[in-house]
């Protein structure tokens, strides 16, 4: 009897469990169906939004096309830059450039510009950017004047930046660390960051924020710069964070600290300032930590623009400006401050040439695909209306890459195959097919070396270079010569080595008939013809064409020393 009752009980339990399970399954199915419906609805809505945005984009493209046809001269930023008549559009249409000479003396050499500020006439170095956007600024437009006093100023506080803005300009929307801001400053202002040798400024304009990032250059090597770059820290005492702005205005400023830079060496501050539609986009001052340790990427990935279409669907190529400056430091200054310079000097014909370029073409560049068609008019010293796109195009930084410069002259990334290369380097306008390639390339300009070797202190801009370098430590030599079983860590080294076996000497001297298997050897040989003997023994005055010769000589002749 008891067994019978137990079976019945179990049967009942089983049926209840089944019912519960069925109910649960039904519930789950219902939830899934509901979510699916919601999901589909969201997809449909997104598709609708996409279609609408696409239509909007097409309309704007049409508008741009019209402007390309109609736009003649008076539609854009005019920059009054009388410095040595430089940087007049060495990029394609790149005359929307802002040129700041690197050398403090160069500034001093500049002919002062006389600007009537209403209160009289001042003869100060002035960079004047005028906006007269008929749509946004209204009659009279507005102008933005940056001044650098040449007399009676504290070298470490050498900037006296004023604005001459039209009535109705929008005050700054947001500024971090307002305590650093002069409270009396009621005019709209541009956030300005100045620091030590290498100042980095980033601006983001395609979103709701406008960032200015200040950082050190070589990544932890300069404590002062690190201090400046540390989040939450106030700017250096010699820095001013100034904020002024203007609706529908995007400007870029550059200046350096003082004429004492050459003496102080490390105090080669420069700053770059951008402002764009501060009335719309809050200005947010940020700091940045050590870029070389990877912090950079969190900015670069998120801030770099992708084709850079802002909210108005205006194409703005550069939403971020990152400048690594090598100032007027002598070539003998420490490696932390010169490695970029050295890199440039390596890539150019001569140190002097490069240095000269650095001094005279210290520019920042932003480029918009639009400028290729809009910026066909030369820079005029007269004031001209500001264009409705609010774009300023900086000139090329350092002007160091001939190839890139040529590309810029020829339209750069806007040439025939430019459609695929829609990511433009903000420094040299070189086009890249994807964002990361551009970011990697820009390390050429920024000096960023995010990949560090665990075996030594060396740092690299690219992961593959780090990997290749680590063969130094591992001793790995994967490339072996089939003729002599010699092994090499790099394929190029093997290829070069094989000329030993083939006898190939592709490098021939134009002065004599000597031929060389290695380009470096030809280069060295050419010094014989030129009589170049730049290396002088401090002990005996003897000169040598190569440093190694001098070293060998000193080892032999002056072993004690």
Partner DNA sequence: CTGGGGACGGGGCCC
Partner DNA sequence: AGGGCCCCGTCCCCA
Binding site for DNA (CB under 7 A): 343, 346-347, 401, 404, 430, 433-437, 441, 443-444, 449, 458, 460-465, 467-469, 471-472, 486, 488-493, 495-497, 499-500, 514, 516-521, 523-525, 528, 545-549, 551-552
Query: Of the two residues 137 and 340, which places its CB atom closer to DNA in the complex?
Result: 340
Residue 141 CB contacts under 8 Å (≥ 6 apart), including other chains: 130, 131, 132, 133, 134, 166, 385, 386
3-state SS of 432-491 is ECCHHHHHHHHHHHHCCCCEECCCCCCEECCHHHHHHHCHHHHCCCCEECCCCCCEECCH
Query: Of the two residues 86 and 466, which places its CB atom closer to DNA in the complex?
Result: 466
Q: What is the C-alpha to C-alpha distance for residues 157 and 165, in angstroms, rounded to an integer?
A: 23
Token pair, residue 207, equals 């979103």
Query: Of the two residues 105 and 554, which places its CB atom closer to DNA in the complex?
Result: 554
Q: What is the C-alpha to C-alpha distance for residues 100 and 107, in angstroms, rounded to an integer?
A: 8
Query: Of the two residues 151 and 464, which places its CB atom closer to DNA in the complex?
Result: 464
342, 344, 347, 352: CA torsion to nearest 10: -80
Query: Of the two residues 5 and 464, which places its CB atom closer to DNA in the complex?
Result: 464
Burial class (CB in 10 A: 0-12, 13-18, 19+), 492: exposed
Query: Of the two residues 312 and 437, which places its CB atom closer to DNA in the complex?
Result: 437
Q: What is the C-alpha to C-alpha distance for residues 435 and 474, in angstroms, rounded to an integer?
A: 33
102, 108, 112, 116: CA torsion to nearest 10: 80
CB of 157 to DNA, least distance (A): 34
CB of 270 to DNA, least distance (A): 20
Helix (H) or strand (E) holding 552: helix 547-557
Query: Of the two residues 3 and 474, which places its CB atom closer to DNA in the complex?
Result: 474
Query: Of the two residues 68 and 529, which places its CB atom closer to DNA in the complex?
Result: 529
Q: Assign residue 531 a region: left if phi > 0, alpha if psi is -120 to 50, beta otherwise?
A: left
C-beta of residue 451 within 8 angstroms of C-beta of residue 466: yes
Query: Of the two residues 22 and 552, which places its CB atom closer to DNA in the complex?
Result: 552
Strand 270-276 relative to strand 250-256: parallel, antiparallel, unpaired?
Answer: antiparallel
CB of 524 to DNA, least distance (A): 5
CB of 390 to DNA, least distance (A): 26
Q: What is the C-alpha to C-alpha distance for residues 306 and 311, in angstroms, rounded to an integer?
A: 13
- What is the C-alpha R_g of the chain? 30
């Amino acid at each position: 009897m008891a067994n019978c009752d137990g079976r019945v009980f179990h049967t009942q339990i089983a049926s209840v469990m089944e019912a519960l399970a069925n109910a649960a399954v039904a519930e789950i199915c219902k939830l899934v169906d509901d979510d699916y419906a919601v999901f589909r609805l969201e997809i449909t809505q997104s598709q609708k939004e996409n279609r609408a945005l696409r239509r909007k984009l097409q309309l704007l493209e049409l508008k741009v096309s019209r402007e390309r046809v109609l736009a003649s001269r008076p539609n854009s930023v005019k920059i009054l830059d009388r410095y040595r008549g430089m940087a007049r559009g060495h990029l394609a249409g790149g005359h929307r450039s802002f040129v700041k000479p690197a050398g403090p003396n160069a500034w001093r050499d500049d002919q002062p510009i006389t600007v009537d500020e209403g209160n009289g006439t001042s003869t100060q170095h002035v960079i004047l950017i005028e906006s007269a956007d008929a749509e946004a600024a209204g009659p009279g437009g507005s102008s933005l004047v940056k001044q650098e006093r040449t007399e009676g100023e504290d070298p470490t506080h050498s900037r006296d930046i004023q604005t001459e803005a039209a009535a109705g300009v929008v005050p700054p929307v947001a500024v971090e660390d307002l305590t650093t801001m002069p409270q009396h400053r009621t005019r709209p202002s541009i956030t300005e960051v100045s620091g030590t040798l290498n100042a980095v400024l980033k601006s983001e304009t395609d979103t709701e924020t406008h960032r200015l990032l200040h950082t050190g250059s070589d990544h932890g090597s300069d404590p002062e710069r690190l201090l400046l770059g540390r989040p939450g820290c106030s700017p250096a005492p010699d820095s001013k964070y100034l904020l002024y702005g203007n609706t529908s205005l995007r400007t870029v400023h550059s200046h350096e600290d003082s004429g004492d830079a050459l003496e102080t060496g490390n105090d080669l501050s420069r700053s770059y300032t951008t402002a764009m539609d501060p009335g719309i986009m809050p200005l947010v001052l940020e700091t940045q930590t050590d870029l070389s340790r990877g912090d950079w990427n969190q900015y670069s990935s998120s801030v770099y623009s992708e084709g850079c279409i802002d909210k108005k669907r205006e194409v703005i190529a550069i939403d971020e400006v990152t400048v690594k400056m090598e100032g007027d430091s002598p070539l003998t200054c420490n490696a932390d401050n010169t490695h970029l310079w050295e890199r440039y000097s390596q890539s150019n014909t001569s140190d002097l040439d490069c240095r000269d370029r650095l001094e005279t073409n210290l520019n920042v560049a932003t480029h918009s695909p639009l400028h290729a068609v809009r910026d066909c008019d030369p820079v005029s010293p007269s004031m001209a209306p500001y264009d409705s796109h609010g774009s300023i195009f900086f000139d090329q930084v350092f002007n160091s890459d001939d190839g890139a410069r040529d590309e810029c002259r020829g339209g750069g990334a806007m040439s025939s195959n430019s459609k695929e290369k829609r990511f433009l380097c903000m420094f040299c306008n070189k086009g890249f097919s994807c964002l990361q390639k551009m970011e990697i390339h820009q390390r050429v300009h920024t000096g960023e070396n995010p990949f560090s070797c665990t075996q030594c202190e060396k740092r690299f801009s690219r992961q593959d270079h780090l990997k290749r370098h680590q063969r130094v430590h591992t001793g790995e030599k994967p490339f072996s010569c089939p003729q002599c079983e010699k092994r090499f860590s790099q394929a190029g080294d093997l290829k070069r080595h094989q000329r030993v076996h083939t006898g190939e000497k592709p490098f021939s001297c134009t002065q004599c008939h000597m031929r060389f298997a290695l380009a470096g050897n030809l280069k060295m040989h050419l010094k014989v013809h030129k009589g170049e003997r730049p290396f002088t023994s401090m002990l005996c005055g003897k000169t040598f064409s190569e440093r190694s010769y001098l070293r060998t000589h000193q080892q032999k002749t002056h072993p004690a020393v």
